[in-house]
Structure 1
């Protein structure tokens, strides 16, 4: 994401060597890296996970300091524990856990369960050991575009203190590599969903000789991502109009034009409408509930249905830190994303000025059907503008040469818009992009059987 800090060379060629796996499915407790420990695997104790194997990886919070405190990352292994092939499955956002989602996520991999052992983990700062910032969690819940208050953001930063600089994607990538060593895996497939696609690409770029297959579902590009989000606004117009072409769906007008009309009358509503329409793409990509009708009525001056829909989004967005940590959202995204003011250690007093300047350069055509208030005031931009400066790190020039990649994307996904998938596809020559008509977010879990069959065939070849 941080285009001004690193450049990623993305080319692809199919790897022909077979996956090799050493050691048994339950290793003895051992040290696998500096300050890192591994419990080995045994039957999971949680009743809902009793059919899986569980372990715990211990890593240093600060890998440069041997005196740093450690973090315990729960690990779950499913599929065939004795299989010669292994797949690392990465969840998203950032903020989602891993093992607790296994019963829902792993149903997508029935086609490979005999040929692969499938590994999930709680990435640092998530799950049972999630970074918990009560005020920020209460305000944002499970939403990644909700606009937070300055007080909640500053309270979270104060709670985490200097530790918050150790939750960048770079840290997670190092954790994955420690896990590979702990499992005694020579090479593995890596499968990511949403933000998990970003970490998957970063891992593959840093350790490309260790990756046999790369599956990217609902893609976040490693480059060309900007906090203003204006490059995605045209996708909202396209998708809203496309929803209205669904058989049996009779929209009362042009929902994109209606959205623009609402914002002409109430420009400050932009960030809320951006969040609302995005959440509709998660919850109901086939119909978007009654969003087109609500926007049409609001454009005519009746906000009743729009208020109801915004209230529904509020209820839908509630989530505890163990399910979606807003502490890790802030800690990771404010380190990783490309902001107009520069990196995480940029002077706080200059951020607003630089953000205003960047948004003022955007044309009405680039912003439509949203507006400048949406680009300037979306939840990501606001949260990280308030986030106190913290030590940043360079990400060196990386390459994905030799990675065999399959990209999956829903045509109606607005959480990670299709423009991002097309950008990533262009940046990985030789990759395969599968676009699912009418599809939404996270296609492997929520999509059709044809998607799962495509992934199965890719992973087994």
Structure 2
């Protein structure tokens, strides 16, 4: 998921908030002089990045019209309003990450294509300065979607958001994007999504196929959304740790040691959360084999230090950086759980989850256990989330529109393992697949190997 798929570090790097203004990391290359765009109010140079134009897109809270109210979504664009290839919409992850604070950084990463495209980024509803705020949940989970929060934090967040939480689903963001497209005057969009942004991009393409030119999907999740049990990431951990071990010359079997550690301490969910965060520090997982080997032997001190390190260095985030309120509202509205959807009565959910735990096999969960799959943070948030109507999700095998699709992944990515990429590729008519060796999550932004970025440049400029 984002976070730990959704963590802000996954995509944006360090982003500071100073006196209410967003400050992005320095650009690699500045885009052309800014152009104008119609349908977006308050257009002016971005306060902390004046080479871009910022403004506000007003959208209805409820696209169905039953509940009154509007939301103001911040938008930022580069120059080149007459770009020959049109608008390139870059979608950040989470759910919960804003887009506007990253405009300078992403423009730097995509500099070779900006002579042909106008780059567009926006703060999806409930993110950035309009973040949904749940202080307890933010403290408990930070930028992780796997950390286990306190029940009180879940209840307080649901109460604070109230019945309007239902209007922060991916379907609502897809409707916002089509209003943004119209405001930009674009007939079609080229969309580049990362992590949760790939789900949004896929859902937009399914809902509005005539308005998509091409798709870049980086760190791919399928259009049906993240699996709350994480049954791709659990077995992928063995593959990833063993490959990293081989690359670094370690002499142990980290997968076997992980299995022994989970059996000994019953802390699989905490380990998975920490490993999914640590890939942003070191995609080689260099310290992990020794940590797991010692823990398996009954010496957990280094493992406990490892948990503290990841929480301190990766998983801390403010609501402006990654809103846990929005994250929870979206996942609870979107996901399909062992008990069904969030439209299922709360009273029967725990029993359904327990039945699922008992039915899971070692083959599905190894080197973890069934308790890991049913004990992950975002699943537990939605276990106790109030009952609400939910939007439909696309059928599992519905194909993407017949447009060029580039699917980009790293072979060390635990947050969105490449098993999901290949699953999603089956929905594309002529998928182009690039797996970058040694890369973890968010290939375009973070991989040391430039092959992924070059593939994007070639794909967008062909």
Pairwise same-fold verdict (TM > 0.5)? yes
CA–CA distance in 1 between the matches of 2:238 and 2:376? 17
Q: 1:390-428: CA deviations, max 9, x gaps?
A: 122234666523221000000000011111111111222
Within a 5 Å distance, the mapping from 1:186-197 to structure 2 comes to 186-197=187-198
Q: Secondary structure at the match of 1:64?
A: coil
Q: 1:361-391: CA deviations, max 9, x gaps?
A: 1111211100011011011211110111112
Partner of 1:358: 356
CA–CA distance in 1 between the matches of 2:393 and 2:154? 26
CA–CA distance in 1 between the matches of 2:104 and 2:399? 34
CA–CA distance in 2 between the matches of 1:449 and 1:295? 31
Question: How many residue pairs get matched?
Answer: 425
1:346 to 333, 344, 347: 344
CA–CA distance in 2 between the matches of 1:66 and 1:237? 48
Within a 5 Å distance, the mapping from 1:18-97 to structure 2 comes to 25-27=35-37, 30=39, 38-39=40-41, 41-44=43-46, 46-47=47-48, 49-65=49-65, 68-84=68-84, 85-97=86-98
Q: Is the 8 A contact 2:334 2:393 kept in 1?
A: no
Superposed displacement of residue 457, structure 1: 1.4
Partner of 1:4: none
CA–CA distance in 1 between the matches of 2:456 and 2:56? 28
Superposed displacement of residue 315, structure 1: 0.6
Change (3 A) 1:40 1:184: farther
Superposed displacement of residue 66, structure 1: 6.4
Superposed displacement of residue 357, structure 1: 1.0
Partner of 1:233: 234
CA–CA distance in 1 between the matches of 2:199 and 2:113? 23
Partner of 1:261: 260
Change (3 A) 1:335 1:214: same
Q: Secondary structure at the match of 1:245?
A: helix
Superposed displacement of residue 337, structure 1: 1.4
Change (3 A) 1:390 1:305: same
Work out whether 1:293 is the aligned partner of 2:295.
no
Superposed displacement of residue 100, structure 1: 0.4
Partner of 2:378: 380
Q: Secondary structure at the match of 1:236?
A: helix
Work out whether 1:214 is the aligned partner of 2:224.
no
Within a 5 Å distance, the mapping from 1:105-254 to structure 2 comes to 105-223=106-224, 225-246=226-247, 249-254=248-253
Work out whether 1:102 is the aligned partner of 2:97.
no
Partner of 1:304: 301
Q: TM-score, normalised by structure 2?
A: 0.89
Q: Secondary structure at the match of 2:75?
A: strand
Q: Is the 8 A contact 1:25 1:41 kept in 2?
A: no
Q: Is the 8 A contact 2:198 2:221 kept in 1?
A: yes
Superposed displacement of residue 42, structure 1: 2.5
Q: TM-score, normalised by structure 1?
A: 0.89
Partner of 2:428: 428
Change (3 A) 1:453 1:231: closer
Superposed displacement of residue 231, structure 1: 2.9
CA–CA distance in 2 between the matches of 1:56 and 1:63? 18
Q: Secondary structure at the match of 2:97?
A: coil
Superposed displacement of residue 164, structure 1: 0.1
CA–CA distance in 2 between the matches of 1:405 and 1:152? 40
Change (3 A) 1:303 1:209: same
Q: Is the 8 A contact 1:27 1:39 kept in 2?
A: no
Q: Is the 8 A contact 2:92 2:195 kept in 1?
A: yes
Q: Is the 8 A contact 1:52 1:76 kept in 2?
A: yes
Partner of 2:441: 441
- Superposition misfits of 4+ residues, deviation over 6 angstroms: none
CA–CA distance in 1 between the matches of 2:323 and 2:206? 26
Superposed displacement of residue 358, structure 1: 1.6
Superposed displacement of residue 225, structure 1: 4.4
Q: 1:112-154: CA deviations, max 9, x gaps?
A: 1111100000000000110010000011011111111111011
Change (3 A) 1:301 1:67: closer
| Alignment gaps of 5+ in structure 1 | 2-23, 31-37
CA–CA distance in 2 between the matches of 1:90 and 1:280? 23
Of structures 1 and 2, the one with the larger relative CO (CA 8 A, separation 6+) is 1
Q: Is the 8 A contact 2:126 2:168 kept in 1?
A: yes
